[in-house]
Amino acid sequence: MAGGPFYSALKWQIEAGADEAIGETPVDRFAEAPPSPPPPKVRPPAPPRQAAPSAPRAAPSSPPAAPLPAADPASQDAKAIAAGAKTLEDIRAALEAFDGCPLKRTATNLVYTDGNPAARIVLVGEAPGAEEDRRGLPFVGPAGRLLDRMLAAIGLDRSSVLITNTLFWRPPGNRNPTPAEAAACLPFVERTIEIVDPKVLVMVGGTAAKTLLARPEGIMKLRGQWFEYSTPAMARPVPAMAIFHPAFLLRSPAQKRPTWRDLIEIRKHLEDSI
């Protein structure tokens, strides 16, 4: 039977989110020299604010969120590569070859899309978790199972939707992505939406909503409203709505009631746009 101090230390690390080996050789941190004292704090000059040139516009209008670092070389590469993709398979192949997102180095699998590339509805979630990373498919863990039930409640399933995420590789221990990691994935998310050209875009959770709408409000304010999502390459904007993330609904079941209303509204919009 498992036990002893080594097992307890390992279990503690896994519970704290350190569930991935990121190097081949173990490092004994206790044997290392103690860290040198931190340098005196100097406030760096404020960087110039720069609007992302391909940032999608969203209505109704209010001050946009701080833009992702568009000048980052990896995100510039990503933009050029994504712009050349004509199909979702082109994007998948480009992501398999892309080395501009450091998350790829710690992830097990690329997690790109699941569902129907000709769907009338695209759902964009946040990031793959442990189960998604193992299987290479989005939303296949506990939150994904609830998302399937939410879709079923309005007559949809994975054959009638396309599901993707704002990140295509799992952040180690499910930590928040850095702005550079998010910026390296964003052009591929945008290009995916452009190629599918859906009738409705659903942003699943606050991260997807903030990333795609480039707005400062949180999910509590953004959910349940219609926005217009567009990129410079799109012929017309797509109606877009944010909903609560199913992982949040698992923790806060009381929020299922407003989510049900949002899902009905999405269903109605799809029916009206036939």
Q: Which of residues 245-264 bind ligand URA (CB under 6 A)?
A: 247
Strands (DSSP E) found in the chain: 114-115, 121-125, 162-165, 200-204, 226-229, 238-243
Instruction: Tell the smallest beta-carbon distance from residue 103 to ligand URA (Å).
Output: 13
Instruction: Tell the smallest beta-carbon distance from residue 104 to ligand URA (Å).
Output: 16
Instruction: Tell the smallest beta-carbon distance from residue 160 to ligand URA (Å).
Output: 18
Instruction: Tell the smallest beta-carbon distance from residue 192 to ligand URA (Å).
Output: 14
Residue closer to ligand URA (CB basis): 132 or 181: 132
Instruction: Tell the smallest beta-carbon distance from residue 114 to ligand URA (Å).
Output: 9
In sequence order, what are the residues at sequence separation of 6 or more whose Cβ sits closer than 8 angstroms to the Cβ of residue 84?
90, 94
Instruction: Tell the smallest beta-carbon distance from residue 132 to ligand URA (Å).
Output: 4
DSSP string, 159-183: TT-EEEES-SSPPGGGPPPPHHHHH
Per-residue mark of binding to ligand URA, 22-51 (x: CB under 6 A)? ------------------------------
Q: Are strands 200-204 and 238-243 parallel, antiparallel or unpaired?
A: parallel
Residue closer to ligand URA (CB basis): 193 or 247: 247
How far CA 100 is from CA of 96, 121, 182, in Å, comes to: 11, 28, 11
Residue closer to ligand URA (CB basis): 79 or 183: 183
Q: Which of residues 68-107 bind ligand URA (CB under 6 A)?
A: none
Per-residue mark of binding to ligand URA, 200-219 (x: CB under 6 A)? -----x--------------
Number of residues this chain uses to bind ligand URA (CB under 6 A): 14
Prior bond of 142 cis (ω within 30°)? no
* Angle formed at CA 47 by CA 43 and CA 49, multiple of 5 degrees: 140
Largest distance between two CA atoms of the chain: 66
**Burial class for 107, CB neighbours closer than 10 Å (0-12, 13-18, 19+):** buried
Backbone φ and ψ for 256, nearest 5 degrees, come out as -70, -30
Residue closer to ligand URA (CB basis): 136 or 224: 136
Check binding of 181 to ligand URA (CB under 6 A): no
Instruction: Tell the smallest beta-carbon distance from residue 205 to ligand URA (Å).
Output: 6
Q: Assign 3-class secondary structure to 256-271.
A: HHHHHHHHHHHHHHHH
Q: Which of residues 156-175 bind ligand URA (CB under 6 A)?
A: 165
Residues of 46-77 as b/e, b for ≥16 C-beta within 10 angstroms?
eeeeeebebbbebeeeeeeeebbbbebebbee
Instruction: Tell the smallest beta-carbon distance from residue 120 to ligand URA (Å).
Output: 21
Q: Which of residues 109-148 bind ligand URA (CB under 6 A)?
A: 125-129, 132, 138-139, 141, 143-144
Residue nearest to ligand URA (CB): 125
Where do contacts with ligand URA occur on this chain (CB under 6 A)?
125-129, 132, 138-139, 141, 143-144, 165, 205, 247
